[in-house]
Amino acid sequence: MLIDTYGRVATDLRVSLTDRCNLRCTYCMPEEGLQWLAKPDLLTDDEIVRLIDIAVTSLGIEEVRFTGGEPLLRPGLVGIVERVAALEPRPQMSLTTNGIGLKRTAAALKAAGLDRVNVSLDTLRPDVFKTLTRRDRHKDVIEGLHAARDAGLTPVKVNSVLMPGLNDDEAPDLLAWAVEHDYELRFIEQMPLDAQHGWKRDGMITAGDILASLRTRFELTAEGEEARGSAPAERWLVDGGPHVVGVIASVTRPFCAACDRTRLTADGQIRTCLFAQEETDLRAALRSDAPDEEIARIWRLAMWGKKAGAGLDDPSFVQPDRPMSAIGG
């Protein structure tokens, strides 16, 4: 079991498979990209599967989310999914992706055992997409979403970040589109995880702003805390259901008290929180032939030291040195 001093138990593992990405989203990284990890620093496929095996069989992990960077850039992705699906007990598996490349891989991922996907899409307008991501790939993402739905990787969740002056007027249109195509839309407040450290709380589009915009066109009924559990998104029924919309308000409505996540970076570091300043190295233990029991002990110790919250409302908050692309969403 992965328990911390506040009694929270981690059952959800986020695994970053690569720090690389084929988009350059303005809220994540600079236009020229980042200094990527060297290949020897990355965990191998075998190392990733071994760590997930330890997490599932010895530490109580029930859900595994593959992230990046962009996880579809990982050459061994389908094989990793297939091997994790064979573990006992079998964890639930999902993937967070920008959707580029999903059209050609969705069926293979489903066959390998992946349960569902989260796809990032911030706008319905190709010109705005190009401005936000610095790439002209809007059509590829739309086609990837359709392929995921047709392959049965459901519920297909769409993650959207609203940025002032770019797409902050699109919330109702995005929801209408998601309902039409049977996707579950989730808005995410912009978080301080950009490589440029340009994030400012003043002027960000808040959960309150998003809900006010949605209510100009839809009736929203809160599901409530009991239905939410440890999920990061607060959810509302849309016009009485069955469709729902979620808002992940990491900044204005933090949910740290219910957090059940532990994170593994692409280079084998354990992070107890997206906003953590400290990491615990599992790669060194792996490569020094440490037994599974020792690796599990190191992991438990790291989680025992997890802080009460991210501290985004604390004036002394310091943004993590690693951008989101290197940590995993």
User: Does 300 show up as a binding residue in the annotation?
Assistant: no
**Distance in Å from the first CA to the final CA of the chain:** 23
CA-closest candidate to residue 187, choices 157, 166, 231? 157
Q: Is 101 annotated as a binding residue?
A: no
198 is in an annotated binding site: no
- DSSP symbols for 69-100: S-GGG-TTHHHHHHHHHTSSSPPEEEEEE-ST
Q: Is 65 annotated as a binding residue?
A: yes
DSSP state of 22: S
Residue type, 160: S
Whole-angstrom distance, CA of residue 311 vs CA of residue 276: 10
SS3 119: strand
Annotated ligand binding at 21? The verdict is yes
To the question of whether residue 152 is assigned a binding role by annotation, the answer is no
Is 191 known to sit in a ligand binding site?
Answer: yes
Closest CA to 93 of 121, 65, 58, 71: 65
The annotation status of 28 as a binding-site residue, yes or no, is: yes
CB proximity list for 149: less than 8 A, separation 6 or greater: 156, 181, 182, 183
Instruction: Please say whether the beta carbons of 118 and 157 come within 8 A.
Output: yes
Spell out the alpha helix ranges (H) of 182-258: 207-214, 225-228
The answer to whether the annotation marks 25 as part of a ligand binding site is: yes
Residue among 1, 141, 136 at smallest CA distance from 60: 1
Q: Does residue 67 have a known ligand-binding role?
A: no
Q: Is 287 annotated as a binding residue?
A: no
Question: For the stretch 183-217, what's the b/e string if a residue is b when 16 or more beta carbons lie within 10 angstroms of its beta carbon?
Answer: bbbbbbbbbbbbbeeeeeeeebbbbebbbebbeee
Q: What is the C-alpha to C-alpha distance for residues 60 and 2, in angstroms, rounded to an integer?
A: 7
Residue 135 known to bind ligand: no
Backbone phi, psi, residue 111, to 5°: -65, -30
Does the annotation flag 24 for ligand binding? no
160 is in an annotated binding site: no
Whether residue 256 is annotated as binding a ligand: the answer is: yes
- Residue ranges of the binding site for S-adenosyl-L-methionine: 27, 69, 120, 191
Binding residues for GTP: 14, 65, 96, 157, 261-263
Q: Which residues are annotated as a binding site?
A: 14, 21, 25, 27-28, 65, 69, 96, 120, 157, 191, 256, 259, 261-263, 273
Residue ranges of the binding site for [4Fe-4S] cluster = 21, 25, 28, 256, 259, 273
